[in-house]
Amino acid sequence: MSFNILETSIADVHAAYQSGELTCRQLVESYLDRIEKYDKHGPAINAIISINPTALKEADRLDAAFKSGGLVGPLHGIPIIMKDQGDAVGMPTTLGSLLFKDYYPDRDAFVVDKLKQAGAIILGKATLGELGGGDTHGSLFGSTKNPYDLERTAGGSSGGSGASVSANFCTVAVGQEGFASIRRPSTWNCVAGMRPTMGLVSRSGVYGGWPSINGSLGPMARSVTDLAKLLDAMTGYDPDDPVTARGVGRIKEPFSDCLDKNGLRGARIGVLRESMGYDAEPGSEDFNKIAEVFDKAIADLKAAGAEIVDPVIIPELNTLLAKRAGNVTDEEESFKIFMGRSKNPPYRSRQEAMRNPDFEKVTKRSRDRWMRAPTDEANYEYLKARDQLLTHLLTIMADHRLDAIVHKAVEHQPTLIRDGVNPPYVDQKGAPHLNTFLIYVPSVVVPAGFTRDKLPAGITFLGRPYDDGKMIRLAYAYEQATRHRKPPPSVTPL
């Protein structure tokens, strides 16, 4: 096979199919070979939990369909890695935990079904922060390495998805974010990632879904073009996830039609400089290394034609962000709905799962998160703060006539794995969570270059509710003007 899968795109793959240079089977085999060579052996990135046992059979079916009628859909024969938080028949949904290692769901998640209808192949399931949160460590698999520095974390909780895309184990991947779980691993793995506005993408068949509304699935890709194409195939109303009713009528054009390399010309961009990252240490050397990259990114935005408003200040930003609190009732009901999709689920409630002796083997931060029980009063204060902060954000954008606000994608470099699995248990360090605090705003991260330590850094484009297409347009224009994506040397053949 002459086709080179390194850094390939959806368009490259389809062109190779149509020219006869490549078959779907050959592509799947190539990715499986790379996973064996670089994920299981060699640098042992450890980003993949399970492989779809029918992947080659599905590839053969798509090859036959192509011979008789051409591409079956916009993602025909595109191998996708799914964060192991969503259901895909034939593979366990483990949440990266010994608690769920033998759980095989009865049916696909809504988004998995949509991707298959578009012609995609679910190649495998990726590692994640255990039980769907935090950097990518788990009792089932250990830790996922960052391909740019094997002693550091890939981030999380969608760390396996981010590392898989960056290491070229798939064409694109699906992540999930309830705090910073798509944007942080995208940043630390030098790929593009997006948490769409809540309501555009269904979470049915995904842990952390309805009636909870803070978590959303989103695309992760080596380019904004592929990110947009993947998102196009993921959106849609699903009666099993009622929050998607809010997204009906919100998409005015395909996201793949929003790609304009001149999209920054005349755009008014506000620069949010106030530190808001989780456990961030402003002024520290590590923080300053990220700030250097960010300053260069702002200059690049201006050079690309954007009108820069620097800085913008959101009143009470960190005071209000500190009021974040979960809703135990929603989280419990969400778990029951997720498990209830199968006839014989391993547990009926989170309390039942916590009674399993293996719960003691769950990583400390994930165990603590599951045992945390915010009060109704704390949740009420959060809801008030959320409404107030959204008003502040929209007021600032209106007063300055902004198209978007940009901020550091993560305010620190990737954490050392040893510091994440041992005291002081550093987790999610430097991760901003403004977008998931506000729920109904889109956020896209794009590679912004590398620090002095040769580690990836990124920039975030954040916009008004349902301005997803505009954020993609701005992110694409920045990407095309700078082209900072570089594959990691640990998994790139010399």
CA–CA dist 84, 87 (Å, integer): 8
Task: Write the CB contacts of 187 (distance below 8 Å, at least 6 apart in sequence).
Answer: 155, 193, 409, 410, 445, 447, 456, 457, 458
**157 is annotated as an active-site residue:** yes
Q: Count the Cβ atoms, other than its own, within 10 Å of residue 348.
A: 12
Q: Provide the 3-class DSSP secondary structure of residue 450.
A: strand
Looking at 143, 181, 216, 275, which residue is catalytic?
A: 181
Structure tokens at 196: 């769409």
* Selected catalytic residue, list 83, 114, 145, 408: 83
Give catalytic status of residue 349 as yes or no: no
Residue type for position 86: G
In the chain, % helix, strand, coil (3-state, to 5) comes to 40, 15, 45
For the record, the structure tokens of 112 come out as 């998995």
* Residue 191, helix vs strand vs coil: coil
Backbone angles phi, psi at 218, to 5 degrees: -160, 165
Alpha helices in 203-281 (DSSP H): 224-234
Our answer to whether residue 83 is catalytic in this structure is yes
Relative orientation angle of helices 468-482 and 224-234, to the nearest 10 degrees: 160
Residue of 139, 157, 212, 490 marked catalytic: 157
Residue 407 and residue 313: Cα distance in Å, rounded? 12
Q: How many CA atoms lie within 13 A of 223 on its CB side?
A: 17
Q: How many residues does the chain have?
A: 494
- For tokens 């798939």, what's the residue? 170
Active site residues: 83, 157, 181
